[in-house]
Structure 1
Amino acid sequence: MPITPANGGSAETAETAASSGSAEPIMLELVDEDGTTIGTAEKLSAHLAPGKLHRAFSVFLFDDEGRLLLQRRALGKYHSPGVWSNTCCGHPYPGEPPFVAAARRTAEELGTAPALLREAGTVRYNHPDPASGLVEQEYNHLFAGLVRATPRPDPEEIGEIAFVTPDELAKLRDEGPFSAWFMTVLDAARPTVRELTGTAAGW
């Protein structure tokens, strides 16, 4: 399970900059329980307890050996810093299709676009983050795909990456913290993940 640290001096992304107040605020799309858009809210305000239900996405990318690409969130992130999580996650801009947002954000964070990306359903959850007190009230669109190019992670977003088998993932989860939403989104995406990677991969 090689773990690759992010490096380089890329500029802070628009999403992170906006979160810290140095640019225009990022707006999220608020939704009802059926996923229908009902309005917008500024990103941080949507995550303040008890949270506002909003649209999000989560991406799971695998290499040709069926290993999952994980990222460890950069220590400078305002929400869930320094924890392991799925390949990429985030929020579409208001009116932006979730598929487009998932592909865009994956390329921004990892420096490479997915070789293949397919829809893997949706999941709705409510996960408080004990460390920050922020709340993930999300209607999450799931995507699974393949990555073939070497990732070049943005160090402002990602501290390190690792390609893991299911057994290596279990060991890593025993050793360190993961995002509060990780297992919820992985479990929901598993049917598509298994179609994509084949049963021999063990997902």
Structure 2
Amino acid sequence: MPTTPTNGRSTDSAAASVPDPAAQPIMLELVDEDGNTIGTAEKLSAHQAPGQLHRAFSVFLFDDRGRLLLQQRALSKYHSPGVWSNTCCGHPYPDEPPFVAAARRTGEELGAAPILLREAGRVRYNHPDPASGLVEQEYNHLFAGLIGTALRPDPEEIAETAFVTPDELDALRAERTFSAWFMDVLDTARPAIREVTGPAAGW
């Protein structure tokens, strides 16, 4: 069965140069179909139908047994609350490199930093969320790596976590609701994931 670490709030703080979400609107970087920056938009407005194509990232982290760290999104989130998804997803701030954003946000959400993180491809998708009416129009930068420290998830972001093998993931997907984008990002990232985890892990 998947193992579930105990949740707890992260004490990691963001760098001083990172905008304070409580002090000003969160802005996303709008891009064209080739991933070139064309402007910015406030986070919620970028997700309102029909959605504006914006830059995002998705992270897949594994333990030393080759198990994937999943998270269940907090029930309080306005977009896709309570669904299961990959280790961490988010959006770079304007002009923030996706790699830097992925490492930053992993620390903020999980209270633990990756011990290895590498690029794992890019994918563009369009996923409406019937429950909220919001739309994920994303140009998504993917990253895969390893995590080796105890987790301290932020309960405002994460309801639950689990480390799973491929077979355990299949069983969990049959029982629980996953994010609309999960299989898009996982399938695109698989070649890099296999290099990180090795063939014996089965990804």
Q: Same fold (TM over 0.5)?
A: yes
Which interval holds the TM-score relative to the shorter structure?
over 0.9
Partner of 1:198: 198
Conserved 8 A contact 1:10-1:156: no
Q: 4+ residue stretches of structure 1 with deviation over 6 A?
A: none
1:183 aligns with 2:183: yes
Structure 2: how far apart are the matches of 1:56 and 1:105? Answer: 12
User: SS where residue 105 of structure 1 aligns?
Assistant: helix
Partner of 1:108: 108
Q: How does 1:168-179 map to 2 (within 5 A)?
A: 168-179=168-179
Deviation at 1:7, TM superposition (A): 3.3
Q: How does 1:46-195 map to 2 (within 5 A)?
A: 46-195=46-195
Partner of 2:4: 3
Structure 2: how far apart are the matches of 1:159 and 1:179? Answer: 14
Structure 1: how far apart are the matches of 2:11 and 2:144? Answer: 27
Structure 2: how far apart are the matches of 1:39 and 1:179? Answer: 27
1:43 aligns with 2:43: yes
Name the CA shift for 1:98/1:169 in 2 (closer, same or farther; >3 Å). Answer: same
Structure 1: how far apart are the matches of 2:11 and 2:146? Answer: 25
Gaps of 5+ in 2: none
What is the one-letter code of the residue matched to 1:2? T
Deviation at 1:10, TM superposition (A): 6.9
Name the CA shift for 1:192/1:71 in 2 (closer, same or farther; >3 Å). Answer: same
Deviation at 1:9, TM superposition (A): 8.7
User: SS where residue 5 of structure 2 aligns?
Assistant: strand
Conserved 8 A contact 1:129-1:135: yes
Conserved 8 A contact 1:28-1:94: yes
Task: Give deviations 1:81-135, integer Å, cap 9, x for gaps.
Answer: 1110000000000000000000000000000100000000100000111111110
Structure 2: how far apart are the matches of 1:34 and 1:10? Answer: 37
Conserved 8 A contact 1:71-1:162: yes
Aligned length in residues: 197
Structure 2: how far apart are the matches of 1:130 and 1:64? Answer: 37
Structure 1: how far apart are the matches of 2:130 and 2:195? Answer: 34
Structure 2-normalised TM-score? 0.93
Task: Give deviations 1:28-59, integer Å, cap 9, x for gaps.
Answer: 00000000000000000000010000000000
Conserved 8 A contact 2:10-2:111: no
Deviation at 1:4, TM superposition (A): 3.2
Structure 1-normalised TM-score? 0.93
What is the one-letter code of the residue matched to 2:32? D
User: SS where residue 132 of structure 2 aligns?
Assistant: coil
Partner of 2:30: 30
What is the one-letter code of the residue matched to 2:108? E
Structure 2: how far apart are the matches of 1:5 and 1:50? Answer: 38
User: SS where residue 193 of structure 2 aligns?
Assistant: helix
